[in-house]
Structure 1
Amino acid sequence: MAQRAPRRAGAQRTTQRDRQHPRARDTEGIIPILAKTIRQVEAAGRGGKVKPNGRTAYQVVALLMREERARVKADTTIIEAERAAGLTRLDGIATILAKMAARDTSLLALLADGAVVPSHAVSLKNDLLRAGGREPEPEAEPEPQAPAELAGSSRRVVPQTVIARQLANPFLAPDFSSVPARRPITGRLSDWELLNPLFRAFEYGGDATCMPLPEPSHSPHGIRGLELMHHQAQVVAAAANGHRTFLLADEPGLGKTAQALLAADAANAFPLLVVVPNVVKANWAHEAELWTPRRAATVVHGDGEKLDGFADIVIVNYEILDRHAGWLGNHGFRGMVVDEAHFIKNKSSQRSQHVLEVSEKIRERTSNALFMALTGTPLINDIEDFRAIWQFLGWIDAKKPRHALMAALEDTRLTPADPGFYGAARTSVIDLGIVRRRKVDVASDIPARRVADLPVELDDEAGRSIRAAEQELTRRLVARYESALAARKTPPVTLGVDHDLVRKVAEWERKNNGASKTGGNVFTVMRKIGQAKAGLAADYAGQLARSVGKVVLFAKHIDVMDVAEQTFAKRGIGYASIRGDQTPKVRKANIEAFLTDPEISVVVCSLTAAGVGLNLQVASNVVLAELSWTSAEQTQAIDRVHRIGQTEPVTAWRIIAAQTIDSRLAELIDDKAGLAARALDGSDEEVGSSADVQLEALMSLLTEALQAPDYGFNESPLAAN
């Protein structure tokens, strides 16, 4: 995969591979190979969804196209005519990729920054490189797999060091030494459906926000004199006192990693399994060394060739959990931590299912195991985002509360039909282990933060293209609305806009992703806006860097990051980059350069790859070049800077394209921010609809168009107001 090292002002961007292959002729090199491959995939997929082999080829072509585009742009040994010809041919390949993604929107996940590239895709990539006369990338050889663990999953592996540990502990048996006495639950709630009322209890707010926590008798610490803050030590004290399930939902930046490691130490929950996003694996290993220096930590990469099977702390990322779920469930773990637990909010996803599978196996083998779900943003779109997290913690199963929660609900002597049930039910759940503290309450020394919107006018060709795309999208919505209205056999009950029909049309558009031959969908419109804003956002970040010091710039799409980096290079501004396709070594070097090198003024970060687990508080200004679809993702990005260790007020500058759907999206994101506040912080803010932002954005476009004086569409519907 292509890697990006920190770029100082004026640095050259030529690589050894570029020098070895300076030219791309019409019938030579990698471009014809990519064009032939993607045409074959396109032809095979015309009848419907792209098959698995085609999906692999699609992803590989996209990756190689990006690398080749960067190489052609940076190669100083070719003349401009050849460069233009190469870029034109690559644009043709990109057009085919885009058309295929419009027909089969599931392909978009393969293009996302940070998308997993499986081993068979790496093999195909090397085959294409060889065919194009390039040096293939090294492939890791998989370790021999234990046949017993492969039953039911051809991808599952058992690392050799794990087998060695199993042989060294042949009589490792389940631990039921501390099984609590359980009285049968046969009370008034046995026939009630309780999960939905429990979720609703968090919609209605309440006074309770955090379980009762004990006062710590001392402050645990790691090496180098690191000491916990009071709010952190309280969680460790609760674990030492016997509490074993925690939804640790402190606001981002309050040190949840240290709390989890020392809580595991206090509960003697080793060996400990830690499941994390890929981008924070190295950070967890580093934190484990600081806070639990007596406990050896190992990080699982790929098939686990270098895994230490005897380690006390095993750190694995969500993306490879599927192939390791078998042995992890039988390894004898006494504790499990799931970091960024909102990643498992979708119970139907493979990621969630594997987390729940492993946790249930641990629960079966060890009755008093420690389970901790860590997330500063547990609610993304809906109260039911709680469901998978609660199931991981053992509070509920797929259909009903488990024993501890059921007993607590029975003790209230209330049913969902009784006044006061929802407040009592909320308290019963919180007492099981919800821990939520705000920075303003427990870390008042962290300076304030604010989000400031900077509207920019897009008056160039890009702006006209965006407005045209919005108009086409709005025309399609209105046409479907009018068609549905005309097809009705009975007249409408009320005059004016039928808001129920508006929602149905918006849902259809979102479900079909605007499958139109003439115009884009809401996602392509937002991407065009991001591309148009990229240079302006980078210019503003550069001005900030020259006036106030280091700046963090976040973007969602790779091409937006590319434009920003090119702008910094032209302006002579040193920058580093954090992307999903970097190796841990390159990523660590880029972070270190931004933190310590005075010549590196800006770090360009992917919202997906760098939005969690990083400490970038050396900066106090964040530029959001693109908007996210959730307030949670925006909050996570800002809190890379606004966290313990920050000494200056933090400002996040959102670059908003005026007179476009961008401004409405910003309002919808801000409206969503009240969801977690009401559910967890006891806020009186309105939660609003639980429908996601994409749906509400489409509904807004259609409603405003229908309420306009006419349907002329001579300008953007938003601009018309």
Structure 2
Amino acid sequence: MIVHAMKGGWWADSQYEENAPLKAAGWWWHPGPDGCRRKGCEACQAGLRKKWWTPFADKAARLRQVEGDVQIEWTPEAAAAVRATERSLEASRAVDAEIEVPAPEGLDYLPFQRAGIAYALARPGTLIADQMGLGKTIQALGLINAAPTVKRVLIVCPASLRINWQREAEKWLVQKWQIHVVMSAKAPPADAEIIIINPDRLKGKILDALMSRTWDLIVVDECQICKNPRAARTKKILGEPARKGKEAVPGLVDRAARKLFLTGTPILNRPIEIQPVAGALDRRQFGSFFGFAKRYAGAYQSRWGWVFDGASNLAELQDKLRASIMIRRIKSEVLTELPPKRRQIIELDLSGFEHIVGAEQESWARHEQMIADAEARTALAHAEGDDASYEAAVRDLRSATSAAFTEMARVRHETAVAKVPQVIEHVDSLLEGDEEQKVLVFAHHHDVVDALAVHWGAKSVVLTGRNKPEERDAAVQRFQNDPACRVFIGSIQAAGVGLTLTAADLVVFAELDWVPANMSQAEDRCHRIGQRRQVLVQHLVFDGSLDAQMAKTLVAKQTIMDQALDLRAERIKIEAQEPVTPSAQGHGRPREYPKATPEQREAAARGVQQLAGLCDGARKLDGAGFNRVDTRLGHELAMRSQGRPLTDGEVWLAAKMVRRYRRQLSAEIVEVLSG
């Protein structure tokens, strides 16, 4: 086999028996221009016919790793291109680089920061996804120092970080720059060389003024805010891709010669969340939302539309990101002197508060059952094909979901308030044990924050979304430098991003957040460069409360994030499973269901009857879980099947349940309904 380079990719001159390594490496078979349906296909343009090829450098590099018994000869051009990709992969993990980067007198970059600057210098679009606390801001400013062509810079960052960016720029930039921080609705001055702005200010005259200029560099800090391509701020920053009947709409990044995105958590919950940013940096490889979703988000089409909330091919995604746009290092690799974090779950005394946790549990179970009933009614109405019943069921489902959210927010608030005295007592004991100990305390509700602030008074500072930027900065400076200030009280959202609070090595969560990235962001306010002690993170919960359940859920969610982004994370298999019931969003006219045969109708009836006999509503049974929706659905279908034949829609619904719980049923039933 001989591998050749071509414009936009590689192709292989191979025999049939040599195809295995090409398939394993993810190469594509190209039938020729007549049989290809891919728009703008590079293989068609190269005139390839009945050849294996790939436009992706990471897949070309992977072929070198899966050669096996097949002898592969690479042309010099093909080999050189692959070596460049391999060097890019190595650079994406580099902890040092032989590069001289200008720095102000008395300051210097850490070795891995030089490597990050070198990586960004080598490409027009870069995602610095270093773990939180490794100095991404310094690397961005180092890029400005190192790139002589950069004269005009736009920095988009959260409002809470504007002053910090200004201070760091004045500290780290070698040349004197005209820096303007947008703090009002007035358009920035024309002579400003560096403009710092938060996304909420990107509107009206300000946005028009910024779009009218060209930028040598745009920096988007905390770029995970662009995870939703439909959000207004995402469209303003990244633009909108072309769709059927609609031309592409440029964003601010399209006005910049060089793009630099910064985040420590590019994937907040699901891999699909990184696509908008990756697509903006490399449209050729990541620009197709749908293509990305199918390959890396485990996308599948349910009867009610496409679902993109899974995860698949994460090792390939990591390699492709690293080979093209992303550099990511984790603290254990580059800060060997920084001890790892430790986490503890501290169970508070439940005495006297059993009624609150009990009410929380009852409310959770009640609304979970209410939503399950509504989802089951929605699925059954859909299966019956009755538009009016289906629309009514969808309205009920939405109403139940909204009511559950409102109710659970209320009871969680009551639980948080009830914990305050014990949170205070716990933190006081930590402070009394060491006169130099400082503590970060995170909460969610304002009245919880206020109650903590009243107790600690002058020896604490408070930072929430209510604080002005200058107040935020003053709070940080006092906590870092004043020995008398021993407690930093912050809201998880407002105080969890972009701050350095290394004066503390102890983090206490009085309340928790469902999003693991928000928790990690908050933790890493003190677990970052400058920290020399081991950081201890404590979650204070009532046993049996929602917070206690959340603490376990957060660990599971963090695994997906680590697997997609960190080389040494343990690989796990994540399978997207199609739900039995439709979502509340998919409320169009029910489709026609496949015509069921008499055998399928009988097997469906037997299947749901057997499941109804097995299922008593327990969470786990014989290794397979019966959730509340399926419990309700299975019993209802079983009752219907005893009084009349199941409809085609009900057979289809029953077949989905049978396939899901196939381990509980006979192989004969499963086989009939799997055809």
TM-score band by shorter chain is 0.5 to 0.7
For 2:429, the equivalent position in structure 1 comes to 543
For 1:554, the equivalent position in structure 2 comes to 442
For 1:248, the equivalent position in structure 2 comes to 128
* Alpha-carbon distance change, 223 to 508 in structure 1, aligned in 2, over 3 angstroms: farther
1:270 counterpart SS class = coil
Task: Note the C-alpha offset of 1:288.
Answer: 0.7
Does structure 1 conserve the Cα–Cα contact (< 8 Å) formed by 2:281 and 2:325? Answer: no
* Alpha-carbon distance change, 428 to 585 in structure 1, aligned in 2, over 3 angstroms: closer
For 1:235, the equivalent position in structure 2 comes to 116
For 1:434, the equivalent position in structure 2 comes to 326
Does structure 2 conserve the Cα–Cα contact (< 8 Å) formed by 1:535 and 1:563? Answer: no
* Alpha-carbon distance change, 364 to 560 in structure 1, aligned in 2, over 3 angstroms: closer
For 2:469, the equivalent position in structure 1 comes to 584
Does structure 1 conserve the Cα–Cα contact (< 8 Å) formed by 2:441 and 2:487? Answer: yes
Does structure 2 conserve the Cα–Cα contact (< 8 Å) formed by 1:219 and 1:227? Answer: no
* Alpha-carbon distance change, 526 to 292 in structure 1, aligned in 2, over 3 angstroms: same
Equivalent residue letter for 1:247: L
Query: Residue deviations 1:334-379, cap 9 Å, x none?
Result: 111111111111111112111113994556555xx21111111111
Which runs of structure 2 are paired with 1:328-343 in the superposition (5 Å)? 328-343=210-225
Is 1:455 aligned to 2:347, yes or no? yes
For 1:220, the equivalent position in structure 2 comes to 101
Q: Aligned match of 2:269 in 381, 385, 396?
A: 381
Q: Distance in 2 between matches of 1:648 and 1:335?
A: 37
Which runs of structure 2 are paired with 1:662-673 in the superposition (5 Å)? 662-673=547-558
What is the CA RMSD across the aligned residues, in angstroms? 4.1
* Alpha-carbon distance change, 488 to 536 in structure 1, aligned in 2, over 3 angstroms: same
Is 1:444 aligned to 2:336, yes or no? yes
Task: Note the C-alpha offset of 1:478.
Answer: 2.4
Equivalent residue letter for 2:101: P
Task: Note the C-alpha offset of 1:272.
Answer: 1.1
Q: Distance in 2 between matches of 1:288 and 1:253?
A: 17
Structure 1: gaps spanning 5 or more residues = 1-180, 403-419, 493-504, 696-702, 710-721
For 1:122, the equivalent position in structure 2 comes to none
1:528 counterpart SS class = helix
2:200 counterpart SS class = helix
Which runs of structure 2 are paired with 1:282-361 in the superposition (5 Å)? 282-294=163-175, 295-304=177-186, 307-323=188-204, 324-357=206-239, 360-361=250-251
Which runs of structure 2 are paired with 1:415-434 in the superposition (5 Å)? 427-434=319-326
Equivalent residue letter for 1:389: V
Query: Residue deviations 1:87-107, cap 9 Å, x none?
Result: xxxxxxxxxxxxxxxxxxxxx
For 1:637, the equivalent position in structure 2 comes to 522
Which runs of structure 2 are paired with 1:355-504 in the superposition (5 Å)? 355-357=237-239, 360-361=250-251, 364=254, 369-395=257-283, 396-397=286-287, 427-460=319-352, 463-479=354-370, 481=372
Query: Residue deviations 1:663-707, cap 9 Å, x none?
Result: 11111111111112110113224375789xxx9xxxxxxx99744
Structure with the greater alpha carbon radius of gyration: 2
Does structure 1 conserve the Cα–Cα contact (< 8 Å) formed by 2:378 and 2:397? Answer: no
Which runs of structure 2 are paired with 1:528-677 in the superposition (5 Å)? 528-548=414-434, 549-569=437-457, 574-677=459-562
Q: Distance in 2 between matches of 1:219 and 1:644?
A: 21
For 1:154, the equivalent position in structure 2 comes to none
* Alpha-carbon distance change, 482 to 364 in structure 1, aligned in 2, over 3 angstroms: closer
* Alpha-carbon distance change, 689 to 704 in structure 1, aligned in 2, over 3 angstroms: farther
* Alpha-carbon distance change, 484 to 442 in structure 1, aligned in 2, over 3 angstroms: closer
Aligned-residue identity in percent: 25
2:429 counterpart SS class = helix
For 2:244, the equivalent position in structure 1 comes to none
Equivalent residue letter for 1:354: K
2:403 counterpart SS class = coil
Query: Residue deviations 1:169-192, cap 9 Å, x none?
Result: xxxxxxxxxxxx986999967746
* Alpha-carbon distance change, 506 to 538 in structure 1, aligned in 2, over 3 angstroms: farther
Q: Distance in 2 between matches of 1:538 and 1:507?
A: 44
Equivalent residue letter for 1:311: A
1:652 counterpart SS class = strand
Q: Distance in 2 between matches of 1:579 and 1:687?
A: 39
Does structure 2 conserve the Cα–Cα contact (< 8 Å) formed by 1:657 and 1:663? Answer: yes
Task: Note the C-alpha offset of 1:392.
Answer: 2.7
1:515 counterpart SS class = helix
Aligned residues: 472
Q: Aligned match of 1:522 in 400, 408, 414?
A: 408
Say which structure, 1 or 2, has more relative contact order (CA 8 Å, 6+ apart).
1
2:540 counterpart SS class = strand
1:600 counterpart SS class = coil
Q: Distance in 1 between matches of 2:130 and 2:339?
A: 17
Q: Distance in 2 between matches of 1:400 and 1:479?
A: 34
Does structure 1 conserve the Cα–Cα contact (< 8 Å) formed by 2:449 and 2:489? Answer: yes
Query: Residue deviations 1:388-429, cap 9 Å, x none?
Result: 111332434355789xxxxxxxxxxxxxxxxx9986665343
For 2:298, the equivalent position in structure 1 comes to none
Structure 2: gaps spanning 5 or more residues = 1-5, 12-27, 31-35, 41-54, 60-64, 67-85, 241-248, 293-311, 384-392, 582-614, 622-675
* Alpha-carbon distance change, 690 to 638 in structure 1, aligned in 2, over 3 angstroms: farther
Query: Residue deviations 1:437-470, cap 9 Å, x none?
Result: 0111111112221111101133335x41342143
Q: Distance in 2 between matches of 1:188 and 1:513?
A: 47
Task: Note the C-alpha offset of 1:514.
Answer: 4.1
Q: Distance in 2 between matches of 1:425 and 1:315?
A: 32
Query: Residue deviations 1:73-118, cap 9 Å, x none?
Result: xxxxxxxxxxxxxxxxxxxxxxxxxxxxxxxxxxxxxxxxxxxxxx
For normalisation by structure 1, the TM-score amounts to 0.59
Q: Distance in 2 between matches of 1:508 and 1:387?
A: 34
1:603 counterpart SS class = strand
Q: Distance in 2 between matches of 1:211 and 1:513?
A: 45
Does structure 2 conserve the Cα–Cα contact (< 8 Å) formed by 1:210 and 1:436? Answer: no
Q: Distance in 1 between matches of 2:9 and 2:209?
A: 33
For 1:411, the equivalent position in structure 2 comes to none
1:637 counterpart SS class = helix
Equivalent residue letter for 2:140: A
Task: Note the C-alpha offset of 1:656.
Answer: 1.5
Equivalent residue letter for 2:146: A
Q: Distance in 1 between matches of 2:184 and 2:97?
A: 40
* Alpha-carbon distance change, 183 to 600 in structure 1, aligned in 2, over 3 angstroms: closer
Task: Note the C-alpha offset of 1:386.
Answer: 0.9
Name which of structure 1's ranges 587-596 and 247-256 shifts more when overlaid on structure 2: 587-596
Equivalent residue letter for 2:369: V
Name which of structure 1's ranges 523-532 and 625-634 shifts more when overlaid on structure 2: 523-532
Does structure 1 conserve the Cα–Cα contact (< 8 Å) formed by 2:343 and 2:536? Answer: yes
Q: Distance in 1 between matches of 2:345 and 2:230?
A: 36
Query: Residue deviations 1:199-256, cap 9 Å, x none?
Result: xx9xxxx99998332763345353341111111101222344x322111111000010
